[in-house]
Amino acid sequence: MDVQSIELIWLAGAFLLGLLNCFFGYRLFMVTVAIVGFMTGAFLGYLMGGWLGGSTLTVATTLILGLIGAWVSVVAYYAFIFVVGAFGFAFLTAFVWGLYGEGGSVLFPVVAGLIGGFVALRIQRIIIIVGTAAQGSLVSVFAAVAIVSGGGLWTYRNLFHRLLSGELSRPGGIWFYVALFAWVALFAAGSVAQFTRGREMYKRGWPKASES
């Protein structure tokens, strides 16, 4: 299996798992934690394998680091909650800062992310629903853009980099607004679906951690 095929499979998986996370993130949160950990580890393994050279080595490092990432994510539950909140606040701050601000300072999103991480620990249910809906819809839209454009993982990584740096919201253009509309629509639909389906689970006391 060549590297391009691995990239296409990874992006297709990211798209489908993004939809799953967007609409069922709260109900399947621990599964989502493991999946996100696996995808993160697999991505790092892919980069490591590409750096070391060899397609067989790339597949091996992708699988091994993916499994390690899944295990670490499940074990570090509260750390994952913190990361979900931190990334959610950081992405939102970077996008708004790029849309209305002047520069691409990384300090603003970092500070907002740290604050968001601690807030997430206090209001876990809301953060889980909003965070998984936002992250899942964003991953699906970015993966779709990368697949349709043929840019592969480079385009996928570049979209996240431009989002965090505040550059993504400045160019504008018809495709930017199409992608923005798709993200907002998916995010809204996923949030509504999760809040509706999550009521029964919340009444039963899941997640176990207290919510203020």
Q: pLDDT tens digits for the chain (212 residues)?
A: 667 788 888 899 999 989 988 998 888 878 877 887 888 888 888 888 877 776 777 888 889 999 998 888 888 878 878 887 888 788 777 777 765 555 556 677 788 888 888 888 888 888 888 888 988 999 999 999 888 888 888 888 888 777 666 566 555 567 777 888 998 999 999 999 988 875 655 555 555 444 43
d(CA 96, CA 168): 10
Q: What is the pLDDT of residue 173?
A: 63
Q: What is the pLDDT of residue 202?
A: 52
d(CA 117, CA 133): 16
Is the whole model's pTM more than 0.75, yes or no?
no
The one-character DSSP state at 210 is: -
Q: What would the DSSP string read from start to end of 32-87?
A: HHHHHHHHHHHHHHHHHHHHH--HHHHHHHHHHHHHHHHHHHHH-HHHHHHHHHHH
The half-sphere exposure of 128 on its side-chain side, counting CA atoms within 13 A, is 28
Q: Which two tokens stand for residue 116?
A: 């968001």
- Residue with tokens 């603003």, as numbered in its chain: 108
Q: What is the pLDDT of residue 211?
A: 44
Q: What is the pLDDT of residue 168?
A: 62
Q: What is the pLDDT of residue 189?
A: 95
What are the phi and psi torsion angles at 106 (to 5°)?
-85, -15
**C-alpha distances out from residue 120 to 2, 45, 87, 142, 176, Å:** 40, 29, 11, 24, 29
CB 120 within 8 Å of CB 17:
no
Per domain, the residue ranges of the chain are 3-203
Helix crossing, 152-165 with 124-149: angle to 10°? 130
d(CA 62, CA 1): 13
Q: What is the pLDDT of residue 7?
A: 84
